[in-house]
């Protein structure tokens, strides 16, 4: 027996069967919660605004200028196509770019109308367009009502409450508070007229859509930064991944607004990209234009000087020999000027690179000054490329990001190599410049042999030729730069513009909402039932008793609705009487198993008071008496006697009086109205009940009773409160331990479990009292059937009522049978 006895720890065991049955018993709560959740889902579905997703498609290409050559190089290819795609993605989500788009479209203005359940965005469907005076403040968040009186006139209504409101100047982005009037404002305007109020400044221009007279339109101004923040969440997908094709998408409740924003965003990106692409050409053209202006003034002055000299010295001329000297000196001067210009560019470039950390396009391209060295051009291009990558990284990375240090290291390495290349190039140019200057000096020596007037004319002609040559070079470069700039195209190409072609709704499926409602409506009551089940500390069903103890469950006694404890006597055909008869049969089996002959004793006890111990004692004694067996019910609960009240007997003499020697046995035995049933009451409450039950007189008492009676029923005190009942083990043939459903706590079984495991009590069984198959915690129907609470058709035939059962009763029977079937399936 000890090997079979194993008490399972409740904390490590979960009764899934009991939990499922409890869940089923709370079905009305589940129906109610699911109904409420379903209604909420329906309420949201009919009031939900439809959300749309619109998209457009672009490609980012590396479109090279057809006039891009080593001699006309005015731009650099910074990073190739892949780098440009990543740059475009970052720019499309950047704050500055979205500020440009919102500002251009004036999307800080909402066009609304009151719908059935909510405000509806009617951008693109109004008979007017708001033209905001961005230099004046606009009150934020206040609804402006527009009602058309005629096709061209409208009434402006604004409801105010005394106080202040926040306003914003959309030019400076400055926000401040404005005092508001206490009364509402209503004024009439014509389309195109300025609305000049202390808190609003705009014009309503006709949009070409006919106005609906009397209909109320709403306008609302929003904070600029908040609007920009909403649009920065634009969706960008590369299709396929890693390609140069980008799909831009945006969601919202108004398709026209989404279409305009997507298309405008791409156009502004393309314009800005082309502007950046032309920046080198623009800077170069500005440099050339300024140089041309200077050379033009120089040419004019030299031309005037030459004309004046010829007018004053008409006899002085230049022969063929002097012409060759002029041509030679002019060529040498051009070479000298070119070399000096290239050397100056190197000096400017070196100062620029040494004095700055961010490298842009503030100096003209190397090709303008005649520098065509690939190493120099490539180094400058690489530095600018890395600097651009560093600026892009600053959009997303923190200042202490290691990537910044890596980029700076690479830039400094390229600069070091570039400085070495420039130093070598400068040395070569200086040597060439020295040779040219020496040749110029020799030529000038030959010219000094000429007459003074010819030398003067020669000098003027030389300056003129030099200025004219430089002017021609700059003019040619200006033409080249203009061609390059005109031929540049944006790398952003639109494949598909955003367009409302119908559809595009992405609102949540109503069916999904209802499914979620069912799930949510199930989870809440399921959690509630689980908490009830998990934290329930009271015994609810026989299976729970089996799990908590190795002591067998002998039977279950139904819930009694009678005011009297004499249920078996007053209603012998009731289900409770049948349950006690089942206990009687089970006790007979226990007695036969022990081969007990003669008088038989049964002790009835419990954990605490109130579990029905006395109720079970009285009715068990009654069923033995009804079988015409001499039975005595002995009240051994000496501290709290109760039996006398149920039999309407005086409690003056009883067990206590016999044990202390005041009365003889015949004097304490009292007859009852039940044949074959005698009662011995407890008597007066003694000061030492435990000592009395352990006395020698108690042994005599039990021996006398066994001689006179067939069955001795001992109503003993609860073992959870006192130890009196356990002192009687030597007289006991069987013990019934009463447990009351939803009353006895699970922890109360530990004491009797310990006694049973140590074999301090023998032949003990549990009786589940006050058992209801349809309990408040709902454990189903099978237990009562299994333990004698119901007897199927036999039980129904045995009852006194023979009246024809109604439809309700038949429904209950079907309900019970279904419960029993489910219980049996779970048991399997």
The verdict on 32 and 171 lying in the same domain is no
pLDDT at 624: 94
Flag the least confident range among 126-130, 488-492, 563-567, 731-735. Answer: 488-492
The verdict on 190 and 332 lying in the same domain is no
Flag the least confident range among 139-148, 215-224, 319-328, 600-609. Answer: 319-328
| Full 3-state SS string of 290-347 | HHHHHHHHHHHHHHHHHHHHHHHCCCCCCCHHHHHHHHHHHHHHHHHHHHHHHHHHHH
pLDDT at 811: 61
d(CA 760, CA 762): 7
Nearest to 364 by CA among 446, 484, 193: 484
Per residue in 686-705, pLDDT tens?
888 888 888 889 899 999 99
pLDDT at 45: 76
Report, as an integer, the average pLDDT of 75-86.
55
**How much of the chain, in percent, has pLDDT values that exceed 90?**
29
Task: Read off the pLDDT band of 510 (50, 70, 90).
Answer: low
Report, as an integer, the average pLDDT of 112-129.
91
Beta partners for 174? 169
pLDDT at 603: 92
The verdict on 518 and 551 lying in the same domain is no
What is the chain's mean pLDDT, rounded? Answer: 80
d(CA 154, CA 213): 9
* Cα→Cα distances 93→97, 243, 247, Å: 7, 18, 13
pLDDT at 183: 83
For residue 224, is pLDDT > 90?
A: yes
For residue 236, is pLDDT > 70?
A: yes
pLDDT at 790: 36
**Residue that terminates a domain, selected from 216, 247, 277:** 277
pLDDT at 824: 56
Flag the least confident range among 167-176, 382-391, 622-631. Answer: 382-391
pLDDT at 507: 64
For residue 794, is pLDDT > 50?
A: no
Burial of 143 (0-12, 13-18, 19+ CB in 10 A): middle
The verdict on 235 and 307 lying in the same domain is no
The verdict on 197 and 241 lying in the same domain is yes
For residue 316, is pLDDT > 60?
A: no
331: containing domain = 282-487
For residue 8, is pLDDT > 80?
A: no
Report, as an integer, the average pLDDT of 402-420.
84
Does residue 654 contact residue 681 with C-beta atoms inside 8 Å? yes
Q: Which residues contact 822 (CB under 8 A, 6 or more apart)?
A: 21, 24, 780
- Torsion sign over Cα 95, 101, 102, 104: positive
- Torsion sign over Cα 309, 310, 312, 318: positive
- Torsion sign over Cα 85, 89, 90, 94: positive
The verdict on 301 and 397 lying in the same domain is yes
Report, as an integer, the average pLDDT of 154-176.
89
The verdict on 725 and 698 lying in the same domain is yes
The verdict on 145 and 41 lying in the same domain is no
For residue 708, is pLDDT > 90?
A: yes
Beta strands in 675-826 (DSSP E): 677-680, 711-715, 734-740, 764-771
Per residue in 415-469, pLDDT tens?
888 888 888 888 888 888 888 888 878 877 776 666 676 666 667 776 777 777 7
For residue 518, is pLDDT > 50?
A: yes
pLDDT at 36: 92
Q: Which residues contact 548 (CB under 8 A, 6 or more apart)?
A: 7, 8, 10, 539, 746, 749, 753
Per residue in 633-656, pLDDT tens?
999 888 888 888 888 888 888 999
Task: Read off the pLDDT band of 487 (50, 70, 90).
Answer: low
Taking phi over 0 as left and psi of -120 to 50 as alpha, with beta for the rest, 702 belongs to alpha
For residue 54, is pLDDT > 50?
A: yes
Report, as an integer, the average pLDDT of 7-34.
73
Q: What are phi and psi of 384, to 5 degrees?
A: -65, -35
Residue 5: inside a domain: no
Does residue 575 contact residue 796 with C-beta atoms inside 8 Å? no
**How much of the chain, in percent, has pLDDT values that exceed 70?**
78
pLDDT at 501: 86
CATH code of 612's domain: 3.40.50.300
For residue 67, is pLDDT > 60?
A: no
For residue 566, is pLDDT > 50?
A: yes
**Predicted model pTM:** 0.51
pLDDT at 292: 74
Do the bridges between strand 153-158 and strand 185-190 make them parallel or antiparallel, or are there none, so unpaired?
A: antiparallel
Do the bridges between strand 163-169 and strand 128-132 make them parallel or antiparallel, or are there none, so unpaired?
A: unpaired
More confident residue, 391 or 417: 417
Per residue in 519-552, pLDDT tens?
888 898 888 888 887 777 888 778 888 888 889 9
- The count of domains in the chain is 4
Residue 756: inside a domain: yes
The verdict on 406 and 446 lying in the same domain is yes
Nearest to 683 by CA among 665, 709, 708, 657: 657
What is 567-608 written as a DSSP string? HHHH-TTSHHHHHHHHHHHHHHHHHHHHT--S-EEEEEEESS
Residue 497: inside a domain: no
**Residue that terminates a domain, selected from 487, 521, 551:** 487
More confident residue, 309 or 101: 101
For residue 388, is pLDDT > 90?
A: no
Report, as an integer, the average pLDDT of 159-171.
87
pLDDT at 473: 72
For residue 815, is pLDDT > 60?
A: no
Does residue 494 contact residue 268 with C-beta atoms inside 8 Å? no
pLDDT at 484: 65
For residue 738, is pLDDT > 70?
A: yes
Helix (H), strand (E) at residue 250: strand 245-252
For residue 128, is pLDDT > 90?
A: yes
The verdict on 91 and 44 lying in the same domain is no
For residue 364, is pLDDT > 80?
A: no
pLDDT at 366: 60
End-to-end CA gap in the chain = 25
pLDDT at 420: 85
Residue 499: inside a domain: no
Residue 3: inside a domain: no
Does residue 716 contact residue 605 with C-beta atoms inside 8 Å? yes
The verdict on 527 and 546 lying in the same domain is no
Task: Read off the pLDDT band of 202 (50, 70, 90).
Answer: very high
More confident residue, 706 or 370: 706
Residue 263: inside a domain: yes
Per residue in 175-190, pLDDT tens?
989 888 888 889 999 9
More confident residue, 284 or 556: 556
**Residue that terminates a domain, selected from 277, 296, 321:** 277
pLDDT at 798: 37
Nearest to 383 by CA among 416, 421, 351: 416
More confident residue, 370 or 84: 84
Flag the least confident range among 187-196, 348-357, 431-440. Answer: 348-357
d(CA 59, CA 46): 40
Residue 688: inside a domain: yes
Task: Read off the pLDDT band of 318 (50, 70, 90).
Answer: low
Q: Residue 701, SS3?
A: helix
d(CA 241, CA 253): 29
Report residue 560 CA to chain centroid gap. 54
Neighbours of 168 (CB within 10 A): 22
The verdict on 37 and 60 lying in the same domain is no
Residue 201: inside a domain: yes
Task: Read off the pLDDT band of 274 (50, 70, 90).
Answer: confident
pLDDT at 250: 92
């Amino acid at each position: 027996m000890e090997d079979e006895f194993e008490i399972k720890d409740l904390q490590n065991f979960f009764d899934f069967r009991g939990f499922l049955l409890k869940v089923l018993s709370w079905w009305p709560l589940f129906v109610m919660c699911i109904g409420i959740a379903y209604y909420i889902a329906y309420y949201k579905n009919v009031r939900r605004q439809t959300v749309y997703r619109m998209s457009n498609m672009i490609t980012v290409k590396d479109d090279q200028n057809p006039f891009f050559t080593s001699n006309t190089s005015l731009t650099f290819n910074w990073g190739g196509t892949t780098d440009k795609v990543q740059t475009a993605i970052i720019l499309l989500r950047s704050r500055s770019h979205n500020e440009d788009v919102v500002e251009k479209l004036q999307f800080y203005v909402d066009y609304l109308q009151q719908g059935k359940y909510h405000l509806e965005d009617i951008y693109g469907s109004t008979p007017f367009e708001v033209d905001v005076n961005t230099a004046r403040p606009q009150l934020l968040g206040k609804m402006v009502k527009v009602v058309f009186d005629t096709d061209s006139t409208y009434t402006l209504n604004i409801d105010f409450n005394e106080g202040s409101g926040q306003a914003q100047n959309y030019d400076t982005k400055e926000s401040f508070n404005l005092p508001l009037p206490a009364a509402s404002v209503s004024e009439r305007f014509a389309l195109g007229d300025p609305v000049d109020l202390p808190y609003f400044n705009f014009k309503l221009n006709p949009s070409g859509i006919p106005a609906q007279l009397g209909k109320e339109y709403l306008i609302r101004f929003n904070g600029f930064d908040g609007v920009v923040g909403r649009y920065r969440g634009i969706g960008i997908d590369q299709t396929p991944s890693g390609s140069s094709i980008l799909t831009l998408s945006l969601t919202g409740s108004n398709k026209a607004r989404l279409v305009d924003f997507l298309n405008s965003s791409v156009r502004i990106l393309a314009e800005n990209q082309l502007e950046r692409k032309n920046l080198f050409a623009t800077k170069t053209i500005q440099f050339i234009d300024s140089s041309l202006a200077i050379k033009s003034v120089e040419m004019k002055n030299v031309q005037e000087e030459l004309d004046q000299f010829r007018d004053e010295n008409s006899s002085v001329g230049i022969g063929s020999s002097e012409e060759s000297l002029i041509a030679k000196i002019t060529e040498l001067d051009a070479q000298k000027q070119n070399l000096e210009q290239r050397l100056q560019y190197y000096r400017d470039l070196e100062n620029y690179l040494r004095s700055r950390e961010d490298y842009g396009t503030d100096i003209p391209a190397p090709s303008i000054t005649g520098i065509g060295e690939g190493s120099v051009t490539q180094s400058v291009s690489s530095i600018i490329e890395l600097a651009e990558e560093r600026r892009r990284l600053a959009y997303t990375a923190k200042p202490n990001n290691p990537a910044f240090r890596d980029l700076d290291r690479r830039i400094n390495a390229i600069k070091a190599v570039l400085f070495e290349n420039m130093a070598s190039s400068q040395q070569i140019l200086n040597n060439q410049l020295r040779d040219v200057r020496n040749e110029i000096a020799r030529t000038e020596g030959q010219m000094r042999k000429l007459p003074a007037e010819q030398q003067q004319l020669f000098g003027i002609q030389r300056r003129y030729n030099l200025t004219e040559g430089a002017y021609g070079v700059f003019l040619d470069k200006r033409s080249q730069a203009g061609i390059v700039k005109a031929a540049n195209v944006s790398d952003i190409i639109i494949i598909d513009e955003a367009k409302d072609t119908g559809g595009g709704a992405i609102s949540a499926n109503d069916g999904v909402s209802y499914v979620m409602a069912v799930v949510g409506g199930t989870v809440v009551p399921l959690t509630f039932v689980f908490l009830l089940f998990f934290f329930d500390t009271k015994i609810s069903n026989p299976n729970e008793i089996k799990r908590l103890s190795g002591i067998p469950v002998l039977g279950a006694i139904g819930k009694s609705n009678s005011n009297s404890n004499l249920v078996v006597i007053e209603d012998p055909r009731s289900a409770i009487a049948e349950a006690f008869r089942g206990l009687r049969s089970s006790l007979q089996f226990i007695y036969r198993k022990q081969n007990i002959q003669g008088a038989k004793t049964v002790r009835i006890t419990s954990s605490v008071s109130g579990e029905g111990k006395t109720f079970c004692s009285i009715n068990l004694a009654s069923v033995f008496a009804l079988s015409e067996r001499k039975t005595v019910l002995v009240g051994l609960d000496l501290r709290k006697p109760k039996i006398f009240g149920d039999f309407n007997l005086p409690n003056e003499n009883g067990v206590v009086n016999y044990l202390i020697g005041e009365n003889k046995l015949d004097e304490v035995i009292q007859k009852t109205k039940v044949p074959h049933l005698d009662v011995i009451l407890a008597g007066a409450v003694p000061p030492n009940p435990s000592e009395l039950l352990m006395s020698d007189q108690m042994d005599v008492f039990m021996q006398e009773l066994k001689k006179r009676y067939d069955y001795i029923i001992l109503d003993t005190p609860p073992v959870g409160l006192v130890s009196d009942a356990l002192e009687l083990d030597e007289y006991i043939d069987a013990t019934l331990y009463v447990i009351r459903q939803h009353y006895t706590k699970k922890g109360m079984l530990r004491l009797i479990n310990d006694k049973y495991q140590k074999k301090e009590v023998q032949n003990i069984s549990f009786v589940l009292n006050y058992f209801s198959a349809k309990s408040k915690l709902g454990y189903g129907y099978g237990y009562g059937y299994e333990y004698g609470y119901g007897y199927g058709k036999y039980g129904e035939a045995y009852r006194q009522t023979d009246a024809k059962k109604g439809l309700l009763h038949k429904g209950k029977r079907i309900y019970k049978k279904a419960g029993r079937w489910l219980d049996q399936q779970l048991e399997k």
